[in-house]
Amino acid sequence: MIDTGLKTILNRIKPQWKAAFISAFIIGILTHMYVMTNNLMTPDGTWNIYSDQDMIYLGRQFLMYACKISSYYNLPWLNGLLAIVYIALTAAVVVEAFDVKSVVISALVGGLMVTFPTVASTFCYVFTIDGYMLALLLSALAVLITDKFKKGWIAGIVLIGLSLGIYQAYYSFAILLCILILLMQILKNMDTKAILLKAAKYCGMGIGGYVFYVLTLKAMLALRHIEVTGYQGTDKLLGNPFVNIKEGILASIRTFASFGVKHNVLTTTPTMTVAYVITLIVGVALFIYMFIKNGAIKKWDKIVLAIVLIAFIPVGTSLAAVMEPKVFFHLLMRMPWALFFVFILKLVEDSSYENKFDKNTIIKRLVMVVTPIATAILIFEFAVAANTVYFTLNERYEKTYGLCLRIVDRLEETEGYKTGDHVALMGGYPDREYYPETCITWRDLSGYFDPNGEYVVSDSGKLSDFCYHYLNFTIVPATYEEHGIIANSKEYLEMPKFPDKDSVKEIDDIWVIKLNG
């Protein structure tokens, strides 16, 4: 009975879903295995070895529940495995949302989703990647359920609200997915009224989901007597998020354009750049071709709709910049861009079914062959970039281990120091006069990392965490106030920099280590 029921369920799974899921899972494991089987480090990782991820003060009231599935320990293999499963499911959802028919294209979608640079960037925060990728899945499901069911927008409200409460950046993923689905319908010259009704459902789901998110956040903040901080504009979420709308729109356009051209993420290597440019050219050409051939160009309402939707793409994709024009748009927030490549693959698929396109047999075959190959090259190049990121993380960990070992050794050898004394690590990273730049990947990975940070320890708290977990050495970090007093003292200003013999000394009962400054 159980076997029969399971077989029935499996038979209902479309081949396209299977292709997207299996492709994403296998390619995901192969691409990200190194980071999943090693304990690599980023600055945030030092204090997230065990953390409940209670970040309600950042407007992420549901993050701790999403991360609790894998426990609150930093377990790279388990967290990464769950993340890849969530991404693979998201790939299947996206394939269904775009109504992809080709198994090959479905497999490419899976590969794109799991290797897109945002995923490698998120793996740098492996302690929370499972929660973030669950938010991604929920945002995609919200759109699909809204699209497929008459009253699906009700469930969509809850799903997008939960996604927002885990990590707000994937709201833009849902927005762009809606826009691209509507553009596909315009290209197919579908009934304008039907397109507008679908757009209205999407808007209802999106606005309702945001209201759900704000109400639950306010309630949970009130119960716990906590306020949202101003980090990355999160304080605006509960008030008027569009108070600087004009400046915000301009900022969103700038950040959208700069990522596509200048950020060294989609153009990391010459090969990646060529594949990226080919894919974009094919996408733009096919969009124009289908818009003309299917007759949408002859209808003013379709033209207006297309212009409005295209104009809204930078805003929807970079919504955080609209809310806070000065926001630092981290690579973590760029996942919506993966949908552009999926959209182009869907254009290629649809154009292959166009009878009118058969007259241009050579062009048709060229597009049908070159675009999947270019996409496959992008997937491989993204995987190479991801592993270069992980290689760099390992180097940073080893350099930090060596630096902290020298600091601990100096403290233990300094007369008068004893465990429990307050320690202040001053100056951030070591002076390059004594520790020159040795990173060999920063040019290639400038879109992923701050090139100035070769270490994962830059303050007393992180030094304390690192030494506690990796060197079995207990350091009590100086308080914020104590750091301020030391920084303004004459004795500190006259100290030489580490590793000079006088770069570690006691000032007002606090052991000061002057790395820089």
Question: Please, which pLDDT band fits residue 149 given cuts at 50, 70 and 90?
Answer: very high
How far is it, in rounded angstroms, from Cα 435 to Cα 114? 37
| Whether pLDDT at 151 is above 70 | yes
Q: What is the DSSP string of 171-230?
A: HHHHHHHHHHHHHHHHHTT--HHHHHHHHHHHHHHHHHHHHHHHHHHHHHHHHHT-----
Rounded mean pLDDT, 376-385: 97
238, 214 in Cβ contact below 8 A? yes
The whole-number pLDDT of residue 359 equals 53
Interval 283-299: pLDDT, tens? 999 999 999 988 888 89
512, 505 in Cβ contact below 8 A? yes
Tell me the chain's radius of gyration from C-alpha atoms. Answer: 26
| Position with higher pLDDT, 463 vs 303 | 303
Question: Please, which pLDDT band fits residue 169 given cuts at 50, 70 and 90?
Answer: very high
The whole-number pLDDT of residue 1 equals 57
How far is it, in rounded angstroms, from Cα 241 to Cα 344? 32
| Whether pLDDT at 258 is above 50 | yes
The whole-number pLDDT of residue 240 equals 65
**Consecutive H or E run containing 159:** helix 152-166
The whole-number pLDDT of residue 60 equals 92
The whole-number pLDDT of residue 98 equals 97
How far is it, in rounded angstroms, from Cα 517 to Cα 501? 16
Rounded mean pLDDT, 158-184: 96
| Position with higher pLDDT, 33 vs 255 | 33
For residue 181, which of 295, 305, 343, 14 has the smallest C-alpha distance?
Answer: 343
The whole-number pLDDT of residue 482 equals 87
| Whether pLDDT at 80 is above 60 | yes
How far is it, in rounded angstroms, from Cα 35 to Cα 57? 29
Interval 25-72: pLDDT, tens? 999 999 999 999 998 888 788 888 888 999 898 989 999 999 999 999
Residue spans of the domains in the chain: they are 2-390, 394-514
The whole-number pLDDT of residue 63 equals 95
Rounded mean pLDDT, 252-261: 88
Please tell me the pTM assigned to this model.
0.92
**CA dihedral in degrees (388, 389, 395, 400; nearest 10)?**
170
Burial 91-101, CB ≥16 within 10 A → b, else e:
bbbbbbbbebb
Which range is most confident: 372-376, 430-434, 458-462, 488-492?
372-376
| Whether pLDDT at 165 is above 90 | yes
| Whether pLDDT at 267 is above 80 | yes
The whole-number pLDDT of residue 239 equals 65
- Give me 146's structure tokens: 């809204």
The whole-number pLDDT of residue 357 equals 47
Rounded mean pLDDT, 267-287: 94
Rounded mean pLDDT of the chain?
89
Which range is most confident: 29-33, 234-238, 508-512?
29-33
| Whether pLDDT at 358 is above 90 | no
Dihedral angle sign, alpha carbons of residues 371, 189, 16, 34: positive
- Least confident segment among 196-205, 234-243, 293-302: 234-243
Q: Which residues contact 248 (CB under 8 A, 6 or more apart)?
A: 242, 321, 322, 323, 324, 325
**Consecutive H or E run containing 477:** strand 476-477
| Whether pLDDT at 186 is above 80 | yes
Question: Please, which pLDDT band fits residue 456 given cuts at 50, 70 and 90?
Answer: confident
Which range is most confident: 87-101, 340-354, 452-466?
87-101
337, 116 in Cβ contact below 8 A? yes
- Least confident segment among 10-14, 162-166, 310-314, 324-328: 324-328
Rounded mean pLDDT, 381-397: 93
Rounded mean pLDDT, 158-172: 96
| Whether pLDDT at 231 is above 70 | no
Tell me the percentage of the chain whose pLDDT exceeds 90. 54
Rounded mean pLDDT, 83-99: 98
